[in-house]
Amino acid sequence: MQRTFKNVVSISEKTNDQLLEVIEDFTCFSLDQYGDILIPKTEEYLDQFPISEKEKEYYFPYYYWWAVFCSRSLLAEKNTVYELYLKEYGWKFRKKHNLERVLSLWKYVFPSFFFIEEMATERIFCLVDVFDYFKYKPVVLTSKLYKQPSSNDAFTGLILPLAGGGYFTVIDFLIIPDHLKAPLISKLMRFCQNDKSIPPGVFLSKNYPEMLKITIDHLIKNKVEIPHVSLN
């Protein structure tokens, strides 16, 4: 396991600058070209919850990043926003073969739910993907955490592949406290029983908004304090 962690660190040092530049460029693209669709859709999704505007702002990225990488129903083109980005700007990466290969993998990402197997450092975790055959996924946390998780907490969010088999975060994970993770995962497992016929990635790409709703409802019901937002 330590070799895997070292590999992730090495790869992130070589490629994260480029990958983060692409993410920044893609974020601008998604907002400039499709923000008039994506932002109202995300706000409409969050309006179903009895939460404050600050809490909606906190949850906003989890739906938004699912929408840009996974949703094929929001746009008339029936492509994901990321696929449209690569179609327009993929030529920029054709002479950077390693980068191009990794960016091609991003077409198949999906949000999921994770347990912590090991915390190598404050920024490098080995996670177990609960809904992707319990695969081990070394993850570099590139964004600033609002709150350092406990080793027994669970996460949900989107991770993107690095070269070399690791992943990195686009945004901070949504933390599910240890005492709430078992009942929540049970609810999510029951939800997933509705369709066992398709691969996990396809299921999560399609159904993550419902799974995120189950998660947010569970956190609200249990009065979990969102970072920087008091629920009293």
Digit-coded pLDDT (tens) for 92-110 = 998 888 889 999 999 999 9
On the 0-12 / 13-18 / 19+ scale of CB atoms within 10 A, 191 is: middle
Write out 161-197 in H/E/C secondary structure.
Answer: ECHHHCEEECCCCEEECHHHHHHHHHHHHHHHCCCCC
pLDDT of residue 149: 83
- The answer to whether the predicted template modeling score (pTM) of the entire model surpasses 0.75 is yes
Sequence-distant (6+) residues with CB within 8 A of 34 are: 68, 74, 75, 81
pLDDT of residue 148: 76
Instruction: Summarize pLDDT for 12-40 with one digit per residue, the tens.
Output: 455 667 888 999 999 999 999 999 999 99
pLDDT of residue 12: 46
Low-confidence ranges of the chain (pLDDT < 50): 11-12, 229-232
pLDDT of residue 2: 52
127, 142, 150 from 6: Cα distances, Å: 15, 16, 22
Copy the structure tokens of residue 173: 């994970």
CA distance 72 to 60: 19
Closest CA to 74 of 206, 200, 198: 206
Copy the structure tokens of residue 130: 């609960």
pLDDT of residue 5: 56
pLDDT of residue 170: 87
Copy the structure tokens of residue 2: 């330590």
Q: 213 — alpha (psi -120 to 50), left (phi > 0) or beta?
A: alpha
